[in-house]
């Protein structure tokens, strides 16, 4: 099911949680809404589900204006962060609930419900646990029951709110891979919310980066990591440092001095670069500063460098250096970005 979100605005007590958000989700796509808390990602998910209604704007499921429909009519699968299982029902009753509450005209017969439940249990690899109660299951199992329950109603789209947020790191990794396989098998249009960028980049076909009620960028993992379109995306995804620079006659100047890189049009702005996109150099035109800390990080070393700022607080940048580079605590390091982006002011 294709989903179109057109100019959605959502206010809570005059505070705009979402401000003019538009997004097209292709059928069968796995999309991540990624952002810090308060960015409006969960609000957007709830609006798609119909758990909240937009102040302005529309949401289309295919050609149908879903924003006119109640949550019951939308037929979406929603998985909550804390599972929200019905604790007085067994696993099988939880999964069958959505079928059982259908009006008698469209309700499948009991034997059919039973078969569907056992198929779904197979699919989420929980066969044999149908008569357990939720409080007899582990967190990862509960999350899979919640997913099976959402899938039982044959939803048009599947929505997951921080699906792995309450799980420990190992289970989270397993479930992440499992969800990807599950999606590839079932082909449901899926939207999930996360604040964990690793999760979003690894799992999603496209990542929607959100901040302060707006979409900052929509793109594949490569797009948002390698070609960030805004200072927010550059600093939110992955590690980065930034410095105020000017561009004059094609040369990038920091504190009035050329630093050995060049750029097109003249402007003033912020130079962003990632720790790994840096080389150490002996040349005169370069950035330089004092090494204040050195951290071993797997196969490389991260140096924290303070760049003097005319008596103000120094600029703090992080660069990746080779393990055997002569970078010592307290010494001066000279470096130059190899890949960067300047966001104009």
Partner 1 sequence: MTASATASSAGWRLKQPSIIPGFGLTLGFSLAYLSLIILIPIAGLLWRTAELGWSGFFAILSDERTIRALYVSFGTAFIAALINVVFGTLLAWVLTRYRFPGRRLIDAMVDLPFALPTAVAGIAFASLYAPNGWIGSLFMPFRIAFTPIGIVIALIFIGLPFVVRTVQPIMEEIDKEVEEAAATLGANRFQTIFNVLLPGLTPAILTGFALAFARGVGEYGSVIFIAGNIPYVSEIAPLLIVIRLEEFNYAGATAIATIMLLISFAMLLVINLIQAWSRRRYGNV
Interacting residues toward partner 1 by CB under 8 A:
49-51, 71-72, 75-78, 80, 82, 84-89, 97-98, 101-102, 133-135, 146, 149-150, 152-153
Pick between residue 17 and residue 159 the one whose CB is nearest to partner 1. 159
Positive or negative, the CA dihedral 134, 140, 146, 148 is negative
Rounded Cα distance, 78 and 71, in Å? 10
For 18, the token pair is 């979402």
Map residue 225 onto helix, strand or coil: helix
Pick between residue 113 and residue 287 the one whose CB is nearest to partner 1. 113
14, 213 contact by CB (below 8 A): no
Spatial CA neighbour of 19 closest among 55, 68, 58: 55
Pick between residue 89 and residue 123 the one whose CB is nearest to partner 1. 89
Helices (H), the chain: 41-49, 71-74, 91-100, 110-123, 139-152, 169-186, 197-203, 221-226, 231-236
Beta bridge partners of 296: 301
Task: Work out how close the CB of 28 gets to partner 1 at its nearest, in angstroms, rounded to a whole number.
Answer: 21
Beta bridge partners of 79: 160
Task: Work out how close the CB of 87 gets to partner 1 at its nearest, in angstroms, rounded to a whole number.
Answer: 5
Give the β-pairing of 15-25 and 30-34. Answer: unpaired
Task: Work out how close the CB of 162 gets to partner 1 at its nearest, in angstroms, rounded to a whole number.
Answer: 12
Beta bridge partners of 196: none
Task: Work out how close the CB of 86 gets to partner 1 at its nearest, in angstroms, rounded to a whole number.
Answer: 6
Pick between residue 144 and residue 336 the one whose CB is nearest to partner 1. 144
Task: Work out how close the CB of 215 gets to partner 1 at its nearest, in angstroms, rounded to a whole number.
Answer: 24
Pick between residue 162 and residue 304 the one whose CB is nearest to partner 1. 162
Pick between residue 84 and residue 253 the one whose CB is nearest to partner 1. 84
Pick between residue 106 and residue 310 the one whose CB is nearest to partner 1. 106
Counting Cβ atoms within 10 Å, is residue 265 exposed (0-12), middle (13-18) or buried (19+)? exposed
For 262, the token pair is 């060049």
Helices (H), 187-271: 197-203, 221-226, 231-236
Task: Work out how close the CB of 14 gets to partner 1 at its nearest, in angstroms, rounded to a whole number.
Answer: 19
Task: Work out how close the CB of 80 gets to partner 1 at its nearest, in angstroms, rounded to a whole number.
Answer: 5
């Amino acid at each position: 099911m294709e989903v179109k979100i057109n100019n959605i605005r959502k206010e809570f007590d005059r505070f705009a949680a979402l401000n003019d958000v538009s997004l097209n989700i292709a059928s069968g796509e796995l999309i991540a809404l990624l952002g810090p808390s308060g960015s409006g990602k969960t609000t957007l998910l709830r609006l798609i589900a119909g758990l909240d209604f937009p102040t302005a704007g529309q949401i289309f499921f295919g050609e149908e204006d879903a924003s006119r429909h109640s949550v019951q009519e939308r037929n979406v699968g929603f998985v909550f962060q804390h599972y929200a299982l019905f604790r007085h029902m067994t696993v099988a009753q939880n999964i069958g609930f959505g079928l059982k509450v259908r009006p008698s005209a469209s309700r499948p017969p009991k034997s059919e419900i039973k078969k569907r439940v056992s198929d779904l249990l197979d699919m989420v690899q929980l066969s044999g646990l149908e008569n357990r109660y939720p409080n007899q299951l582990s967190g990862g199992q509960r999350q899979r029951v919640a997913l099976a329950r959402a899938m039982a109603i044959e939803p048009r789209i599947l929505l997951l709110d921080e699906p792995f947020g309450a799980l420990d790191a190992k289970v989270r990794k397993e479930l992440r891979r499992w969800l990807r396989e599950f999606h590839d098998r079932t082909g449901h249009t899926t939207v999930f919310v996360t604040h964990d960028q690793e999760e979003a980049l690894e799992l999603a076909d496209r990542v929607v980066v959100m901040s302060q009620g707006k979409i900052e960028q929509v793109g594949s993992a490569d797009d948002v990591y390698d070609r960030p379109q805004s200072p927010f995306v550059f600093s939110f995804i992955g590690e980065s440092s930034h410095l105020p620079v000017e561009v004059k006659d094609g040369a990038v100047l920091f504190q009035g001095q050329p630093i050995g890189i060049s750029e097109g049009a003249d402007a003033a702005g912020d130079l962003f670069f990632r720790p790994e996109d840096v080389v150490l150099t002996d040349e005169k035109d370069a950035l330089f500063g004092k090494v204040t800390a050195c951290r071993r990080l797997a196969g490389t070393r991260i140096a924290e460098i303070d760049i003097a700022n005319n008596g103000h607080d120094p600029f703090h940048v992080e660069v990746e250096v080779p393990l055997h580079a002569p970078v010592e605590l307290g010494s001066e390091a000279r470096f130059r970005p190899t890949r960067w982006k300047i966001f104009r002011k």
